[in-house]
Structure 1
Amino acid sequence: MKKIFIVLLVLVLSFNLLAAKTIVVGSKMFTEGYVIANMISLLLKDAGFRVEEEFGLTSFPLRAAIENGQIDIYSEYTGTAWAAYFKQTKNIYDPYELFNKVAEMDYKKNKIIWINMIPFNDTYAMAVKSKFAEENNIRTLSDLSKFVNAGNKVIFGVNPEFYERADGFFAMAKSYNMNVPKKYVKTMEAGLTYEAVSSGKIDVAMVYSTDAKLLKYKLTVLIDDKRFFPLYNPAILVREKVLNKYPEIKEILKPLTLYLNENIIIRLNYLVDVKGYEPEIVAKNFLKGLGLIK
């Protein structure tokens, strides 16, 4: 009798496991990717899904995983898809136009659906110490150009790739009519530019626009008023087969579009990178604070 009970229990548990709405969520292997992926996972779990997590992949393996069905959903950047996956070279400076184009291309080619573009842009940027910006009334790259062209000595720090690229630093300077001698441009690893500008070794640093170090070192990101830099808005990607089976996913994950923006994601990244909290804890506290999960 005991054996029969155990067999029945195993069958019931197996049936429940098979009947559960199971989703495989992926993530990229950097702070922002982990934070957003944990939000996706937590929202789905709260809505009754059984979630399997495949976190910490680089872009191309993650991309291959959703194309071959190993991963069902993850967040991707419009600029990454446009340039890296679809090999497009012309920049599009309207975030919604870019989103719509990559969404259309991905659906036609791979039956992957882009939903819920998140309204912040994690792209290249130029930053200065906040005190420097205030003292010299510099808020935009055009303001910086005027300051440089007025004869002020300004030292820039950029990573080697941005220095060398045809669409990198000197193309940016040309776009803004900024007369910067090469001797005033220092190359260094991207992570070191923050410390260099903070310590006064350089005046302007190449940064990433949602990096936690912007808060840590109290830097001001200069507005790209001529829209030189490419757009990298995150969006949620789902395999068509999965979304057809569970159309409620789009509504479940809509809060990411409603409640995330550039200032918030910088602060969430800061809690992980500077304060040392786990991305899952940061994501959970954020969603709980908004009353989005139990």
Structure 2
Amino acid sequence: MNLKRRSLGTLAAVAVLGLSGCGLKPSATEVPQVEPAAISHVQGSDGQKLTVGAKNFTEQLILGKIGVLTAQAAGFDVQDMTNIPGSQPARKVMLNGEVDMEWEYTGTAWLTYLNKPESINDPQQMWESVRKADEPNGLTWGKPSPLNNTYSFGVREDYAKKHNLKNISDIAKVPPKERTLCIEAEFNSRPDGLNGMLKKYGLERGSANGIPDENISIMDTGTVYTATAEGACNFGEIFTTDGRINSLNLTVLEDDQKYFPAYSAAPVFSTETLNKYPGLAAEYDKVAQRMNNDVLRELNYKVDVEGQEPSKVAYEWMVSEGLIKPQQ
């Protein structure tokens, strides 16, 4: 579930200690052997090891396998270290040089790793700020993808059509009694969550003419999606690339006032590794520019709803995009 990239607490701290104590473990799920297609052979890669990491939730596992396949097609002997238990451990192994490449979210780096107090909602500005701030840490950020896995609100498809709901600001179109919200506890309390969003959109919390308190239901993350689809509430907090959006026929409202932080996915490299193989960034950019929210919703759906393996989903998508081809 996408929430895992933001929930870092005590378990993550324990995981850091465990990871540094016993080292990384290779992924148990292998990807097929592939050859270059749109991805090109990187000069100097023959026989050279490249270690690819990823966190242990669905979207990251898919992105991690995409990273493994990209490096393999570029000519490297790839060590697959996807399925790292948490954001902080994944960051640690990048900083200490155990991993050469990971896909990371700009918002996670900016707000969590770099501890910046101010949020940035423009994806390009967020990426540029993170790239500059991470340079002294020995990390180089590749170009961001159009994929932006941030917060928004989902609405039942029929309800959205009935009221012509396309943007979060359109919540104000419906009568106050119908402005019912399903949200998770963290979103209710975090400074960049519900209260700030309501203020940004001119909807006063607790007001009969805004969002009455009785209209707000706090639920477990997984319950929010189902409750929204079944009509327990009209507006449910979602992550914009979650596969359940497709399976439950939810309409994603556009954050038209640009409130939520940008969480663009981008390839992050060890600067030392990239200096050895400068052509590597261009190959990952070919992949990054093909990824967007619609693509990841579909890929996440195949794993979370259909039960397919992330390695299979990543492989079939890359073949379909002409990025790689099966080894002959």
TM-score by length of 2: 0.81
Structure 2 CA distance, aligned partners of 1:203 and 1:190?
16
Q: Which runs of 5+ in 2 are unaligned?
A: 1-44, 204-209
Alignment-derived partner of residue 145 in structure 1: 172
* Structure 1 or 2: more helix by fraction: 1
The C-alpha deviation readout for 1:132-178, integer Å capped at 9, x for no partner, is 0000111111111232xx44432211000111223221221121112
Alignment-derived partner of residue 167 in structure 1: 192
Alignment-derived partner of residue 25 in structure 2: none
Structure 2 CA distance, aligned partners of 1:43 and 1:146?
46
2:176/2:212 contact within 8 Å kept: no
Q: How far has the Cα of 1:19 moved from its partner?
A: 7.1
The C-alpha deviation readout for 1:58-83, integer Å capped at 9, x for no partner, is 10001010100111110110000110
Alignment-derived partner of residue 157 in structure 2: 130
Q: How far has the Cα of 1:187 moved from its partner?
A: 0.4
2:70/2:283 contact within 8 Å kept: yes
Alignment-derived partner of residue 30 in structure 1: 57
Q: How far has the Cα of 1:118 moved from its partner?
A: 1.1
Structure 1 CA distance, aligned partners of 2:287 and 2:73?
14
Aligned pair in 2 of structure 1 residues 152, 19: CA closer, same or farther (>3 Å)? closer
2:53/2:90 contact within 8 Å kept: yes
Could you tell me which amino acid in structure 2 is paired with residue 34 of structure 1?
L
Matches within 5 A, 1:46-57: 46-57=73-84
For the pair shown, the structure with the greater C-alpha radius of gyration is 1
- Is 1:258 the counterpart of 2:289 in the alignment? yes
TM-score by length of 1: 0.90
1:26/1:73 contact within 8 Å kept: yes
- Is 1:244 the counterpart of 2:275 in the alignment? yes
SS in 1 for 2:149: coil
1:116/1:256 contact within 8 Å kept: no
The C-alpha deviation readout for 1:248-278, integer Å capped at 9, x for no partner, is 2112212222211111111111111111111
Q: How far has the Cα of 1:287 moved from its partner?
A: 0.9
Could you tell me which amino acid in structure 1 is paired with residue 89 of structure 2?
P
The C-alpha deviation readout for 1:63-107, integer Å capped at 9, x for no partner, is 010100111110110000110011112121221111111111111
Structure 1 CA distance, aligned partners of 2:187 and 2:290?
32
Alignment-derived partner of residue 256 in structure 2: 225
Could you tell me which amino acid in structure 2 is paired with residue 186 of structure 1?
S
Matches within 5 A, 1:83-102: 83-102=111-130
Give 2:318's match in structure 1, choosing from 284, 287, 291: 287
2:51/2:81 contact within 8 Å kept: yes
Identity %: 32
Q: Which runs of 5+ in 1 are unaligned?
A: 1-17
SS in 2 for 1:232: coil
